[in-house]
Amino acid sequence: MKIGAKFPSRMPTSYVLKQIAAPPPAAAYHPTTLLDGKVRPPRISYRDQGRIRKACRMAGIDPASIGLPPEVVTYPAVKQPKGSEKEVKKYTREKNIVENMAKMDERIAEWKEERRKLKESTKPELPF
């Protein structure tokens, strides 16, 4: 049974705790570019940076205070659901319906305005 982020299934390793207690220089978290153009990975791997960031969150410490760069989210905010093609089409159709219903009041107002103008233009100028 998972209880939550405050109580992890495993405690952080001694390596992670050491990085929090005595943080390395900020350059250890960034990749290094050599003179010949080759890029070397950071001294502290991205996976370990994630572990350190998670331990900081659990302890209530700001990760930027120990030199960690801001977290970069590379995945899209809204993921498409997995499933058959029919289910995906149904999901996108429902999503479009919700978006169109949000715009419905504006569309009705525009339609009424166009209808009023059309009726006014067909009305004869003379009253008889």
Residue that wins the pLDDT comparison between 1 and 125: 125
- pLDDT for residue 85 is more than 90: no
**CA count, 13 A, side-chain hemisphere, 16:** 19
- Compute, in degrees rounded to 10, the torsion defined by CA atoms 59, 62, 68, 74: 90
Looking at the fold, whether 57 and 98 belong to one and the same domain comes out as: no
50 lies in a domain? yes
Domain that holds residue 61: 14-66
> Are 59 and 97 within one domain?
no
Q: What residue has token string 């998972």?
A: 2
Higher pLDDT, residue 83 or 42: 42
* Main-chain dihedrals φ then ψ at residue 39, nearest 5 degrees: -105, 125
Predicted pLDDT at 83: 76
128 located within any domain: no
Residues 6+ apart with CB under 8 A from 26: 67, 69
Q: Is residue 74 included in any domain, yes or no?
A: no
Asked if residue 62 and residue 20 are part of one domain, the reply reads: yes
On whether residue 32 sits in a domain, the answer given is yes
Give the mean pLDDT of the chain. Answer: 86
Q: Is the pLDDT of residue 50 over 60?
A: yes
Q: What is the mean pLDDT of residues 23-41?
A: 91
Whole-prediction pTM:
0.51
